[in-house]
Amino acid sequence: MKELANLIKDTVKTTRKLTQLYISSTTAPTTRVHQICNNKRFYSSNSPNPAVAVKLNNAHTCQKCSSPIDEPINTINNSNNNNINNNTIIKPTLAPPAPTLQPNTQLVHATPTPNQLTKPVTSFYKRNLPSHLVEFSSQEGKQLFKEALENGHMEGYFSLAEQFVSQSDPAYCGLATLAMVLNALKIDPNRLWKGPWRWFADDMLDCCIPIESVKKRGITFTEFSCLSRCNGATIQSYRADESDIDTFRSSIIEASSKQGIHLVMSYSRKVLGQTGGGHYSPIGGYHKEKDLALVLDVARFKYSPHWVPVSVLWEAMQSADQETKRPRGYYVMSRNMTYQPSFCRVKNTLSWSSVADKFVKNFPTLLEQKNPATYQDVIETIFSNLPPETPYVLCAYSHELYKNLTNNDDQLLNIGGKHNHLCSTENCIDISNDNYSSYSNNHQHHNHHKSITNRWDQFFEEITRHSKSFSIITEMIKDSRIQWKVHHQHDLHVSKEICHDYPAQLATFLFLAFPAQLYNRLSIDIRDKLAELRNLDGLSANVISEIMKVREEMFLVNQSPCSCSPDQQQGCNK
């Protein structure tokens, strides 16, 4: 009997253990990982009905990312599952709650690529305008448009509206604005857009800076001017610290009351109470009584066109650009009616076509073959492969530049025997028979030349002091990495000509004037460094204008050298 009692006792213990193991196995949570956001979710996977998994929370969405549950899991009401006791279930620590979304914000799923998990993307549908700005399509906005139209201050609106575009990339506000204005001005880009059509698009505007760099940081105030000029526009730029609100308002009125003139702003969104940083957009009109300007925002996916007080726009330009640390500003743009590549006008004796072909067409391939490791290697490669005509062309350009800089000088008539040959890119004019031949003493001539060329000296002083490239090129010349001389002699009666005054500065000028396409096949890191060295924002408007003129000419040769209209064929090679 005693042995039987012990057997029964052992059997009862064994039965209890088996029962506990069964209960534990039916209630122990199983961890599954949500493959979208890696959030752990817990299930009781061994319920009385093995085909059904019990989800401990009753939500059908992930607690972390709020996306739908992807596995086909049925939820069982615990009140109907008598074999599961909530008190015995180990409840997990829940994931953080889903992020608080703005009214127009959603979490959506990007389309997965093969072998890639789907990840959530935060998306937005537009932004609400701040209350002090008037939406163009509102009743008040329509009334403002009607009144401004009646007062003649919407003349520039219609050509812009015909070409209104949305920027194709978040960083392309400057490029989209420029493409919109260039098309509104009816400028022929002289290069294909798509199919047989010539048209401006924001991803075509890369004559001053690589598109990849624009995607990273946008474009600066000076780069916008560069892009405008090399694509056929006449542009006047006004930085906020170099102008005043009255001049700004007058420029808005002029652009709004005349056809063929457009005003573009570079401004800070934050000052307008909007989200984002620096931005570009054209002005489409002006309401005189309320002193409001119509901003045609090219980020149409974010903000609709809106009316803004001129005083607020003025303040928005005072904000410094993070890239250049200088205030923003505005531009007044029109079509350059005389615009054509000067390579189609120059005399063939200057060999501009061959020089330009080498600059723009041959160098990218050469640089790709050399595969330079640093930006110094790039500079060395360029200067070691310059065509032999380069010093002659630069010297001729120096004479033309000197003439232009001193053209309005009151003492210009006292220059005397400055040079017997004044050379330009069009021809060389012999003035040896003029009354200036008496200046035969070289030393006297040089001193006299120095005493009256302040603007000439100031031009190259700007390059010396404010161009990052100058110190690099000077050091490379000193170390013999660059073999550089400007020694062409136009005037045999003097030992030194004006083109001999600033050889390192002329080399720097040439380097700054190369179009950005020269470096398209280099790595993005080297291109970014070259773009930094070639940044013109620290230079004066006079120097920038000259650099842009030469850069524009080189860029256009890349499109089609001497590809002119029938009435512009003088000087073109047949």
Encoding tokens for residue 117?
Answer: 């998990």
Amino acid identity for residue 233 in this structure = A
- Per the listing, tokens 């780069």 go with 223
Question: On the CB side of 149, how many CA atoms lie within 13 Å of its CA?
Answer: 8
Contact 440, 449 (CB under 8 A): no
Is 499 catalytic? The answer is: no
Parallel/antiparallel/unpaired status of strands 292-295 and 428-430: unpaired
Encoding tokens for residue 314?
Answer: 């003025």
Parallel/antiparallel/unpaired status of strands 329-335 and 261-268: antiparallel
Handedness of CA 509, 510, 513, 519 (dihedral sign): negative
Contact 321, 267 (CB under 8 A): no
Residue 299's φ and ψ, nearest 5 degrees, are -90, 65
Which of 573, 183, 568, 155 lies closest to 338 in space, CA to CA?
568
- Among the residues of 385-535, which ranges form H helices? 390-405, 442-451, 454-466, 468-478, 503-513, 524-533
Residue 380 DSSP SS3: helix
Amino acid identity for residue 335 in this structure = R
Which of 499, 503, 506 lies closest to 419 in space, CA to CA?
499
- Choose the catalytic residue: 37, 62, 65, 173: 173
Compute the chain's Rg from CA coordinates: 35
Is 297 catalytic? The answer is: yes
CA 574 to CA 220: how far, in whole Å? 40
Contact 487, 391 (CB under 8 A): yes
- Choose the catalytic residue: 34, 153, 262, 279: 279
> In DSSP terms, which residues pair with 429 in a beta bridge?
422
Residue count of the chain: 574
Name the DSSP letter for residue 205: -
> Got the DSSP string for 449-464?
HHHT-HHHHHHHHHHH
- Choose the catalytic residue: 202, 206, 297, 528: 297
Residue 332's φ and ψ, nearest 5 degrees, are -115, 120
Name the DSSP letter for residue 567: G
CA 314 to CA 280: how far, in whole Å? 14
Name the residues annotated as catalytic: 173, 279, 297
